[in-house]
Structure 1
C-alpha cells in the first residue's frame, strides 16, 4: 500500500500523540500556516498542506521563496507525512477536489486548520491609516474575499468529512482575540476580516459539539513571519536588529510558538471543555500547555500591547517574555 493512502492507525506515544490523525492546514505556504503544519507533523500527523504558491506558480502575494511543496517536505522531515495540494480556497471546485482527495486517500479528516489570508500586500498599501471611504473598494472587497469568504468555503466543504472523525477539531487562525478585538482594527475591511474567524469558531463550536468536536480561534502575537523579517531586512537569526527600527518588535515571536501550542491543544483529550467556541492567543495557549518559543521564552504580545502600548502601564517587552 502506498504510504500516502495507508489508513492503518499507528502506535501512539508521548512523542507522537497525533500519529493516527489526518490534518488539513489550509494556507500553509509560509508563516503560521507552515509552522502549524510542521508541528502537527512533528506530533505524528499526516498533514495535507495547501496554498497558491508552488514551485511552478506564484500567487498575488508575490513571494517565490516559500512554496507548499517545501512545507510538505518540512512536515515529513519533522516526522509526519506531508502532502502538498495546490489549492485556491476561493475556487469552490478546487476545494471540493481537495476534500475529495482526502476522502479517497484517508476516508476522514480529524483536524482542519483555516489559516487562509495572503492580504498583507493590500493592507500595507491601501488600508492602514485610511478611512473606509478612502480605501479602494476593490482592495477592501478583496480583503474580505481572502480573509472571510475563503474560510467559509473551506469550512462548508470540509466539515462533512471532518465530522467523520471521533474527535473533530476545527482551528480558525486570525489576528486578535475576542477581547483584544474590542479595540478597532484600524480599517473596516481589516476589522471585519479578522473578527469573522472568531465568530466562525464560536458558531462552529456549537455545531461540532453534537459530534464530539470543537472549534477554536487562535492568534499569534507580533509574528516574525518570513514576510515580516523581509520587511525589516533581518533574518530569524538576527531579528533583534529590527528593534532599533520598531522597539515593540522586541515582543515578537516565531511562527513556531503558536504552532507548538496548537499541536499541544490538538493532543489534549480535554480540549473541548477548555477551548470550544473560544478565542485564544499564542500566549494564552502557551501558559496552558507549558509551551515555549524557539528561544525558550514565553512572549505574551497581546498583554504587552494592552497594558503598555495602549494602557500606558510602565513596562518593557522583556517584562512580557
Structure 2
C-alpha cells in the first residue's frame, strides 16, 4: 500500500515560499505530512520589492493546511514573515522552530525575487551595478545567511536535507546564462550544494541543488496573459512554452527526494525536476514528465527539429 504520509513528523523550512516553486514545495511537503514553516517578504500587510500583492505567505500556509487536510495527513503550514537578508530575522525564524519543534529536517533555500532586475541586453560594462549587486544579495547572500543560521538546528539529527533551489543544472550552466549577474546568482547555489554536501557528509546530512524546467509560475503565466487552465494558448507567442511545467512538478521532486531513505547517493549533486521524475516515477499535474533541460539544449539551443511532445 502506498504511504500517503511519507514525511509525517518531519519539520521543514521553505525559505521563499510566497509563490512559484517555493509555494508549491511548501504545499506538497504538507500534503506528505510535514510541518512546514513558510517564510517570505510579502504578507497581507506588506508587499516586497517584487511588487505582487496576489500571493502572500499567509495564503501559502493556508494552502499547506488545506492540502494536508485533503490528503488526511498531519501536515501543517505556518507563515513566518522574514527578509532573509537580515540575519536577525532569520535567527528569529530558526529560534521559533527550535522552540516549537526542537528539530529541523528539511531546509529549502528558494530565495530569489530578482526577475525584475535582470537585463539580458547589457554587457557587464553597461549593466546597472546596483541592480546587479542586488541580484547577488537576493540569490546568493540570502542563501548563505539562511544556511549558516539554520544548519546548527538541522545537523542535530542525522538525515537532514538541504535543497538549494536555482535555475539550471551543473551541465546546462556550463554555458553562459546571457547576463553576468544572473549567471552568478544562478550558478552559485549549485556550488553551494557541492560545498555543503562535503560538509554535511560527516554528520549524515545531504545537500543538493534542484532546478525546475520552464516553470509556469504565477509571474510567468501573467507575463503571457494566461492561466494554468489555458496555458497552452501562450505557445503561439512562445513556442518553447510547450515544454513548460507546473510548480507542482518540482514540488513532487522535492517530496520524493525527502522521502527517499537513500537520498544520500545524490549528496552534493545538481538535480532537476525532470531527472528526478525519471528516477522516482512521479508526473506533473497533467500526467506528463517534461524533460525541459534536454529540450532546451537539443531543440531551443541545438536546433533539433523535434516537437516538445517528444520530451514530455
Under a length normalisation based on structure 1, what TM-score does the superposition of the two structures give? 0.94
Of 296, 309, 312, 2:303 maps to: 312
Of 82, 90, 106, 2:85 maps to: 90
Structure 1 stretches of at least 4 aligned residues deviating more than 6 Å after TM superposition: none
* Distance across 1 between alignment mates of 2:202 and 2:79: 31
In the other structure, the counterpart of 2:245 is 253
Residues 121-145 of structure 1 deviation map (CA, whole Å, 9 limit, x = unaligned): 111xxx2121111110000000000
- Classify the secondary structure of the residue corresponding to 2:60: helix
In the other structure, the counterpart of 1:206 is 198
Of 30, 39, 44, 2:28 maps to: 39
In the other structure, the counterpart of 2:123 is 131
Deviation at 1:293?
0.3
- 1:300 aligns to 2:295 (yes or no): no
Structure 2: give runs of 5+ residues left out of the alignment. Answer: 69-74
In the TM superposition, what are the counterparts of 1:1-321 in structure 2 within 5 Å? 14-79=3-68, 80-123=75-118, 127-273=119-265, 275-321=266-312
- Classify the secondary structure of the residue corresponding to 2:136: helix
In the other structure, the counterpart of 2:72 is none
* Distance across 2 between alignment mates of 1:302 and 1:58: 33
Tell me the matched-pair count: 305
Residues 210-267 of structure 1 deviation map (CA, whole Å, 9 limit, x = unaligned): 1111000000000000000000000000000000100000000000000001101100
- Classify the secondary structure of the residue corresponding to 1:210: helix
Give the aligned CA root-mean-square deviation in angstroms: 0.8
Structure 1: give runs of 5+ residues left out of the alignment. Answer: 1-12
